[in-house]
């Protein structure tokens, strides 16, 4: 039954041995990058593939992004950059979130560029440059008002002064200077203009200190799509690469020429008759109101289905939308399929996808559980197999 259901699916079947999978349409990732390039035609494009490519699978997603026209890849953690190099990815790579004591020698050896926002990070780049005999290529991360990662004030002045000296010794090359918005998803917010002005002021300050990085970058997905004045030399979209709208109130993915790349699906593990008045799942927070049929879905919060999808998470079974009935458990949840349901064990259950066949989208899940679409895709559990469609041979 499972095989029969899966093989009638136009996309790939679920892999055997695990009842759920996240299908990732790599063609969509390539097409989304191409669309983003059209939104920012004068800038280079760094596809952000941190967090396992927002849950879509690091290496295949990175390759798909490059195929779509990305000229750079960006990650938060150095381990992710090194994994891309081990897989043979040769594109320019930037990693930007580090801790003191972290070893930068492999970064320099593998030509991974490093985001530097602190004096200790600069010291460590210099140490790695001396060890390897290579120039450390860095992007200065400046805080223009996000109030998060990035240098400002005296630290910034200190870093700029030292970079000027280190550049002449060829220990460091300042390739880029970058910052991040606090309100990119609200393009009219006054902080957006203020951060851009601050950024431009810091670029001038750097120039006066003798540091003239050729690659200035500030725009995430939202600014790439809605704020051309923030594109500068390179844009850094993440969530939009995966076909999700960074500004759902301003436009759907289609509105921006994007398509959701991830489809999360499972199969009914059992279907049974149930009388009216039966409490469902832990704590009986749902009670059947009529004689009905219950479907059991073998996915739970350990697979990334939010526990607070209890009684609100939307799913598609066949051509019918249902809502999670009762508590989401660690590895399962229940659906009240209704008295006339013809669903059978093994039938496909789609948690989210592009929405074209009536299935919910990641954005629908975000609304249902009061979070953002970013969290819905990145939280899909590591044990849920990623099935990549349209994979480019390496
Ligand atoms: C995550 C991240 C991005 C990408 O953000 P999206 O909103 O997903 O486009 C860009 N730049 C930095 C510094 C980030 O941390």
Residue ranges of the domains in the chain?
Answer: 26-246, 262-389
Is 50 assigned a catalytic role?
Answer: yes
Give the C-alpha separation, 270 to 229, whole Å: 54
Ligand 1 mean position, distance from CA 189 (Å): 18
Q: Ligand 1 pocket, 115 CB below 6 A?
A: no
Test site for ligand 1: of 39, 46, 48, most ligand atoms within 8 A of the Cβ:
48
DSSP assignments along 61-121, one per residue:
HHHHHHHTT--EEEESSHHHHHHHHHTT--S-EEE----TT---HHHHHTTEEEEE-SHHH
Please provide the size of the chain in residues.
Answer: 394
The alpha carbons of the chain give a radius of gyration, in whole angstroms, of: 24
Q: What is the pTM of this model?
A: 0.95
Token pair of 245 as six digits: 């709208």
Ligand 1 mean position, distance from CA 327 (Å): 33
Give the C-alpha separation, 239 to 245, whole Å: 7
Q: Ligand 1 pocket, 94 CB below 6 A?
A: no
CATH class as words, domain 262-389: mainly beta
Q: Ligand 1 pocket, 68 CB below 6 A?
A: no
Torsion of CA 145, 149, 155, 157, to 10 degrees: -60
Give the C-alpha separation, 323 to 285, whole Å: 13
Q: Ligand 1 pocket, 95 CB below 6 A?
A: no
Give the C-alpha separation, 277 to 275, whole Å: 6
Reduced to 3 states (helix: H, G, I; strand: E, B; else coil), residue 218 is strand
Check residue 173 and give left, alpha or beta (phi > 0: left; psi -120 to 50: alpha). Answer: beta
Give the C-alpha separation, 310 to 46, whole Å: 37
Contact predicate 20/303, CB 8 Å: yes
At a CB cut-off of 8 Å and minimum separation 6, what does 159 contact? Answer: 116, 118, 119, 122, 140, 151
- Looking at the CA of residue 115, tell me the nearest atom of ligand 1: 13
- Looking at the CA of residue 246, tell me the nearest atom of ligand 1: 7
At a CB cut-off of 8 Å and minimum separation 6, what does 224 contact? Answer: 36, 39, 40, 231, 235, 236, 237, 240
Beta strands in 6-108 (DSSP E): 21-25, 44-48, 72-75, 93-95
- The answer to whether 1 is annotated as binding is no
- Maximum CA pair distance of the chain? 79
Confidence (pLDDT) at 92: 98
Reading the chain (394 residues) residue by residue, the pLDDT tens digits are 333 333 334 444 555 678 899 999 999 999 999 999 999 999 999 999 999 999 999 999 999 999 999 999 999 999 999 999 999 999 999 999 999 999 999 999 999 999 999 999 999 999 999 999 999 999 999 999 999 999 999 999 999 999 999 999 999 999 999 999 999 999 999 999 999 999 999 999 999 999 999 999 999 999 999 999 999 999 999 999 999 999 999 999 999 999 999 999 999 999 999 999 999 999 999 999 999 999 999 999 999 999 999 999 999 999 999 999 999 999 999 999 999 999 999 999 999 999 999 999 999 999 999 999 999 999 999 999 999 998 766 5
Is 183 assigned a catalytic role?
Answer: no
Reduced to 3 states (helix: H, G, I; strand: E, B; else coil), residue 176 is strand
For 293, other C-beta atoms within 10 Å of its C-beta total: 19
**CATH number, span 26-246:** 3.20.20.10
Chain CA centroid to CA 232, Å: 22
Ligand 1 mean position, distance from CA 365 (Å): 21
Confidence (pLDDT) at 15: 54
Q: In the chain, what is the straight-line distance between the N-terminal and C-terminal CA atoms, in Å?
A: 35
Give the C-alpha separation, 306 to 318, whole Å: 23
- Looking at the CA of residue 236, tell me the nearest atom of ligand 1: 10
Among 206, 114, 113, 198, smallest CA distance to 156 is for 206
- The answer to whether 262 is annotated as binding is no
Q: Which of 54, 183, 282, 383 is catalytic?
A: 282
Contact predicate 142/179, CB 8 Å: yes
Contact predicate 119/158, CB 8 Å: yes
Confidence (pLDDT) at 16: 62
Token pair of 367 as six digits: 């609304």
Token pair of 226 as six digits: 């809605």
- Looking at the CA of residue 96, tell me the nearest atom of ligand 1: 13
Contact predicate 268/296, CB 8 Å: yes
């Amino acid at each position: 039954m499972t095989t029969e259901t899966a093989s009638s699916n136009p996309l790939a079947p679920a892999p055997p041995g695990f009842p759920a999978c996240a299908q990732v349409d790599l063609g969509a990732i390539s097409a989304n990058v191409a669309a983003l390039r059209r939104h920012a035609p004068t800038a280079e494009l760094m596809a952000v593939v941190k967090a396992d490519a927002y849950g879509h699978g690091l290496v295949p997603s990175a390759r798909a992004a490059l195929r779509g026209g990305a000229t750079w890849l960006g990650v938060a953690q150095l381990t992710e950059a090194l994994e891309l190099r081990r897989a043979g990815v040769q594109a320019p790579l930037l990693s930007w979130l580090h801790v003191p004591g972290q070893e930068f020698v492999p970064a320099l050896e593998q030509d991974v560029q490093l985001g530097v926002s602190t004096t200790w990070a600069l010291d460590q780049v210099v140490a790695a440059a001396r060890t390897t005999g290579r120039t450390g290529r860095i992007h200065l991360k400046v805080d223009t008002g996000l109030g998060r990662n990035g240098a400002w004030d005296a630290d910034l002045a200190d870093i700029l002064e030292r970079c000027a000296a280190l550049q002449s010794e060829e220990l460091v090359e300042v390739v880029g200077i970058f910052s991040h918005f606090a309100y990119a998803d609200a393009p009219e917010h006054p902080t957006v203009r203020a951060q851009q002005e601050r950024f431009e002021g810091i670029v001038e300050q750097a120039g006066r200190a003798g540091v003239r990085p050729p690659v200035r970058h500030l725009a995430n997905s939202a600014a790439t799509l809605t704020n051309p004045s923030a594109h500068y030399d390179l844009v850094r979209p993440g969530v939009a690469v995966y076909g999700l709208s960074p500004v759902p109130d301003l436009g759907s993915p289609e509105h921006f020429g994007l398509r959701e790349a991830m489809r999360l699906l499972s199969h009914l593990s059992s279907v049974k008759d149930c009388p009216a008045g039966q409490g469902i799942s832990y704590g009986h927070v749902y009670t059947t109101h009529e004689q009905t049929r219950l479907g059991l879905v073998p996915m739970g919060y350990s697979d990334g289905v939010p526990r607070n999808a209890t009684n609100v998470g939307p799913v598609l079974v066949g051509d019918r939308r249902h809502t999670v009935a009762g508590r989401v458990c660690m590895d399962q949840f229940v659906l009240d399929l209704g008295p006339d349901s013809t669903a059978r064990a093994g039938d496909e259950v789609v948690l989210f996808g592009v929405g074209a066949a009536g299935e919910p989208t990641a954005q629908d899940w975000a609304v249902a559980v009061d979070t953002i679409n970013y969290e819905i895709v990145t939280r899909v559990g590591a044990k849920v197999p990623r099935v990549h469609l349209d994979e480019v041979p390496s």
